[in-house]
Structure 1
Amino acid sequence: MAAFIHNIATIVPEHFYKQEFLRNRMKEYIGNGKTSQRIIHRIYSKSGINKRHTVINDFDKNGSARFFFEKDGSLNTPSTGTRNKYYTQKAKELFVATARKTIQQSSSISKEDITHVITVSCTGFFAPEPGFEIIKKLDLSASTQRFHLGFMGCFAAFPAMKMAKSFAESNSNANILVVCLELCSIHLQNSTSPDNLISASVFGDGAAGMLINHTKPKQNGYELNQFSTSIADGSEQDMAWSIGDTGFDMVLSSYVPDIIESNLPQALAPLLANYQLKPEQIKHWAIHPGGRAILDKVEQSYSLDESQLASSRATLAEYGNMSSATILFVLDDLLKRPETEKDETVLAMAFGPGLTMESSLLTKITQR
């Protein structure tokens, strides 16, 4: 039995800042010397990002909230508890809004049809978990099954899709709602360490949802064909995510793009072999835009043309890296682009702590 994504919906917080503005704010408040200011200027200017959204509105001196920046202009360092409390407040609202939008945009699945809710997030915690909030606020059936994938990082949408695919294939009545949400901006660190500076330059906030079942969609969607998981040996220290006293601490080594590049062949080999595909036969590459250098490495490794990574680069430019939600923004952008061939092949891939590389082959289904 097959499994299909029926539609994808995305939501971002109303507040957003241009990358140039954030660069200058970071140079003003984080850069404590000419060297760190030069580093900040370079990584922000070369990021491939135009703007990022956030639930925090006091990056602007006229903002009303006082989370990072005090009224006197000094920089505050909130505790992990303070950050998680704010996450809980904002995440509950956005999880529900994203779930509602996802269902409303479906032409074939209503809220009464939902049998499973899978939620994904790595930027905060609360219990009952987000699925409970969605079921309560959307008045879904109390018997709806709930699952939460937490603290997995940027690749977590893939385990969620695999879980949903399994449910859909084993139960013809299953209709699965998946919502990925990340509020990365609440974990900004007052630090000039390279890892923290790189993290601060790319991460933003956003959420995305999708509906999955075993029937072919009546609107534009995807067929979930096959998944593959790979771990880059000896790379655990190059990408990691831990809980500190002042928020979550991200380890994001500058070697990550090179590690991904060297491990691409082994990560993609199972998918290509099982479908007897060569890389040049893949129409679209929906690559998680963890950073501009990652996209550049993938493009160079497989001699891709500009159009094949267009959705990934567009997502990076408009939103930055929103961790687990980002790949759904990429797939949503791709779904809205004109189809040149029937049933185009899509290779989707994301990377996260481990260094874990998750990939999938999908078929883009467009209603003609």
Structure 2
Amino acid sequence: MGRPTEQSLNFLKKVFDRSGLGDKTYVPMSLLRIPPNPCLSEARKEAEEVMFGAIDEVFEKTGLKATDIGILVVNCSVFNPEPSLSSMIVNHYKLANNILSYSLGGMGCSAGVISIDLAKRLLQQSSSLTIFLIGKRAKYQLIHTVRTNSAANDKSYNCIQQKEDESDERNIGIQLSKDIMAIASETLKTNITTLGPLVLPISEQLKFVASYVRRKILKRKIKPYIPDFKLAFEHFCIHAGGRGIQDEIEKNLDLNEWHLEPSRMTLYRFGNTSSSSIWYELAYSEAKGRMKKGDRVWQIALGAGFKCNSAVWRALKSIDPTEEKKNPWIDEIHEFPVKTMFLNDGICPALTCLPS
């Protein structure tokens, strides 16, 4: 490979500027080495650091012990080793041999909501398990989970694929089709059609039905009515998969920059963290002191398949950011939000600090 040309460098800069990523966005250590070393051992090491660190914090915050765990659900989009990630946790913490252990792999960036839905169903079926019977400690109540999977459609199934490239090295990567935004939009619409009646006030439901009747039955040429989901939720945690996804959902749901702020700042600060992005966004709202008792939160996750999954939560108490010592934003939340302003074709970015 020869020296990069000025043209190629300008192209890469333009791509980076348009990405919505910031200068502090994380990159795995294996990719920072010269030469890069994206091997299995490095991936295991990174997974252990993340998983064990998170679990240790849960034990510290709740006072729970490893012997209290009856269900273990782990999800990861791309890294699926043998033994599984869940087995790595069982081994590290010496969990009971009758634990209900699940490792969800290859389910894309929406798998975080799938994990929550699976845990909910398992707990509902296992009345003898008491790990989540700690209402005084819980910050949120899970109200609804709605899952949409359009993989029966070939275009949806093929729009995100892990595959080898055509180089001599046969590098493995994730390929996105040009249809991904249209597919994401349609799958989102299907998901909110199911979710809407569960969360929207009657007035919004009647407006939607009236619009549907006029369009489909009376054959009127009018735009579909988009319900105002801002009447149902105070907070939106939208998968930080990229600026395109964020812009599309902002437009489809008629949201504003304040609603998109947790998602945009998560992409800017941490990058696309796959299924964990909606949890960084929830932590952002907490660190900003925005989460009040009774507030409703809509987590929207999109991923390969193609899938759109929603989780609806209600805050059981107001969150005091000064008590959130382990919040990933807490040491720098005063620096956010920042707004990336794109001039003309996006070559020249400017960062402006906005008021909270």
* TM > 0.5 fold call: yes
2:291, 2:73 → 1: CA distance? 33
Q: Which residue of 2 is the match for residue 145 of structure 1?
A: 100
1:130, 1:37 → 2: CA distance? 38
TM-score by length of 2: 0.70
* Structure number having the greater helix percentage: 2
SS of alignment partner, residue 293 of structure 1? helix
Q: Which residue of 2 is the match for residue 121 of structure 1?
A: 76
Q: How big is the shift at 1:161?
A: 0.8
Q: How big is the shift at 1:146?
A: 1.2
Q: How big is the shift at 1:47?
A: 1.5
Structure whose alpha-carbon radius of gyration is higher: 2
Partner AA of 1:253 in structure 2: S
8 Å contact from structure 1 (residues 83, 247) kept in 2: no
Partner AA of 2:175 in structure 1: V
When residues 30 and 146 of structure 1 are mapped into structure 2, their CA distance, relative to the original with a 3 A threshold, is: farther
Aligned residue pairs: how many? 286
Q: How big is the shift at 1:33?
A: 4.8
Q: How big is the shift at 1:128?
A: 2.2
When residues 319 and 339 of structure 1 are mapped into structure 2, their CA distance, relative to the original with a 3 A threshold, is: closer
2:3, 2:135 → 1: CA distance? 53
Q: How big is the shift at 1:364?
A: 2.5
2:318, 2:234 → 1: CA distance? 18
Runs of 4+, deviation exceeding 6 Å: none
Higher relative contact order (CA 8 A, sep 6+): 1
Q: How big is the shift at 1:162?
A: 0.8
Q: Which residue of 2 is the match for residue 253 of structure 1?
A: 177
- Residue identity (%): 20
Q: Does 1:275 align with 2:199?
A: yes
Pairing of 1:1-368 with structure 2 (within 5 A): 32-33=4-5, 36-50=8-22, 51-56=24-29, 59=32, 65-68=33-36, 83-106=39-62, 109-174=64-129, 213=132, 215-231=134-150, 233=153, 234-242=155-163, 246=170, 248-277=172-201, 278=227, 279-281=229-231, 282-339=233-290, 342-367=293-318
Q: How big is the shift at 1:359?
A: 1.6
When residues 175 and 104 of structure 1 are mapped into structure 2, their CA distance, relative to the original with a 3 A threshold, is: farther
8 Å contact from structure 1 (residues 115, 145) kept in 2: yes
Q: How big is the shift at 1:35?
A: 5.1
2:136, 2:172 → 1: CA distance? 39
Which stretches in structure 1 are left out of the alignment for 5+ residues? 1-28, 60-64, 69-77, 177-212
8 Å contact from structure 1 (residues 230, 266) kept in 2: no
8 Å contact from structure 2 (residues 140, 313) kept in 1: no
8 Å contact from structure 2 (residues 293, 318) kept in 1: no
* Structure number having the greater strand percentage: 1
8 Å contact from structure 1 (residues 335, 364) kept in 2: no
When residues 159 and 122 of structure 1 are mapped into structure 2, their CA distance, relative to the original with a 3 A threshold, is: same
When residues 155 and 275 of structure 1 are mapped into structure 2, their CA distance, relative to the original with a 3 A threshold, is: same
Partner AA of 2:81 in structure 1: F
When the two chains are superposed, the root-mean-square deviation of aligned CA atoms in Å is: 2.9
1:34, 1:330 → 2: CA distance? 37
1:217, 1:226 → 2: CA distance? 22
Q: How big is the shift at 1:269?
A: 1.0
Partner AA of 1:55 in structure 2: P
